[in-house]
Chain A
């Protein structure tokens, strides 16, 4: 049995999860990584993606659209700008994410364009993983 750590997922509007977890997969902006107990302290920004929490029993999945994760040996805290349990993400939610990401990309300054274009792609990936479509 692996060590456990405290995992918190908070968004500005509510606290979505505060559980004991063995491992958490986090979609960092430079690539996915998995945090386990006694991980070295890291602060990483997030890209749109799915946070998977492995705890006792079943895995819990959450869709996040950005924000950052703070990993300490004692626990992991994900501060997401918007976060939803994967089960609550419907086609309408994806459509909304895509619309706002596309709008941000179209208004972007040239130096931000690459990053925002990538975000649109990231959301499309999330959608396909959940069996939904990203319509533009």
Chain B
């Protein structure tokens, strides 16, 4: 049975924890709004870009002359997994879900006898993967100094990946990130970026009837756009990740605040009970003392 003083201390400590989690929740809520706005602002670009590139890629697919970024190297023995996580913890299952998905992929690929290389973006994923797959890590991108992710950051990551691709370090690249569904739901997603894959491109009927002229040439445009396509895919993944991280942290901190509240209630009841017990004890002692006289 903890003493009254112990209980008082615990209540005070849980109360200050609740203050911290409450503050973190509110900070995340503000950051989430900003992250969502950034994701919203990038949407017109990515949608248009993917529509144009998808149309081009469909036309060029299958032809021998297709750029190597679209066609692939012809083999799929070496896989590069780009695992994007947060730089900070305390955001619920956000980092673990990405890492779990990446782990499943690594195990599956390794059981098929493929070589796996891992590039991590964000400190948390690196820490979790280093334990089991330290030997597979080929690089790390640190974003901890960067407050708001810009297109330039995505370009730098893309340039790094493309350099490795040109050097023949891997055949297939896949990015792992959390897609932002809503504040409580984030979906860990794997997306193949090299060779570029386009889902059934949703071109509206007006677009499909147009026959474009290409300057300098269809192949030339495609060759210029595919590297930017990698950067664009990474950029939107980074933005989705940013919004997901804040959403995950917000709901995690909301839960923590609620749990702290429940704990305070429980501790307060226990505190009141023991105080009452002490008073009753004292009274009994006084009464029995008086009766003995």
Q: Which residues on A are within 8 Å of B, measured CB to CB?
A: 8, 10-15, 28-30, 40-45, 67-68, 70, 72, 74, 77, 79, 81-82
In the complex formed, the residue of B with least CB distance to A29 is B216
Q: Which of A11, A42, A74 contacts B214 (CB 8 A)?
A: A42
**Are B213 and A15 in contact (CB-based, < 8 A)?**
no
The distance in angstroms between the C-alpha atoms of A44 and B225, with both chains bound, is: 11
Q: Which of B44, B52, B154 contacts A43 (CB 8 A)?
A: B52
Q: Which of A10, A41, A68, A72 contacts B225 (CB 8 A)?
A: A68
Contact code string B143-172 (vs A, CB < 8 Å = 1, else 0): 000000011001100000000000000000
Q: How far is the CB of A5 from chain B (nearest CB, A)?
A: 14
- Residues on B with C-beta less than 8 A from A82 are 151
B49 at the interface (CB under 8 A from A): yes
- Residues on B with C-beta less than 8 A from A79 are 45, 48-49, 52
Pairs A–B under 8 Å by Cβ, sample size 12? A10-B48, A15-B44, A40-B213, A41-B213, A43-B52, A43-B214, A43-B215, A45-B225, A70-B212, A79-B52, A81-B151, A81-B155
**Are A11 and B45 in contact (CB-based, < 8 A)?**
yes
**Are B52 and A10 in contact (CB-based, < 8 A)?**
no
Contact code string B207-222 (vs A, CB < 8 Å = 1, else 0): 0001111111000110
**Total number of B residues with any Cβ neighbor in A under 8 Å:** 30
6 more contacts with CB within 8 A, not counting A10-B48, A12-B154, A81-B151, are A13-B150, A15-B44, A41-B211, A43-B213, A45-B220, A81-B231
In the complex formed, the residue of B with least CB distance to A74 is B206
Q: How far is the CB of B38 from chain A (nearest CB, A)?
A: 7
Question: 6 closest pairs, A vs B, by CB?
Answer: A44-B215, A12-B151, A41-B210, A10-B45, A41-B212, A42-B213
Q: Which parts of B196-248 form the interface with A (CB within 8 Å)? A: 206, 210-216, 220-221, 224-225, 228, 231-232, 235
Q: Which of B56, B225, B232 contacts A12 (CB 8 A)?
A: B232
- Residues on B with C-beta less than 8 A from A12 are 42, 45-46, 151, 154, 232, 235
**Are A42 and B212 in contact (CB-based, < 8 A)?**
yes
Q: How far is the CB of B10 from chain A (nearest CB, A)?
A: 48
- Residues on A with C-beta less than 8 A from B214 are 42-44
Q: How far is the CB of A115 from chain B (nearest CB, A)?
A: 9
The distance in angstroms between the C-alpha atoms of A33 and B255, with both chains bound, is: 58
**Are A11 and B151 in contact (CB-based, < 8 A)?**
yes
B65 at the interface (CB under 8 A from A): no
**Are B41 and A15 in contact (CB-based, < 8 A)?**
yes
Known: A45-B224, A68-B221. A30 touches B45 (CB 8 A): no
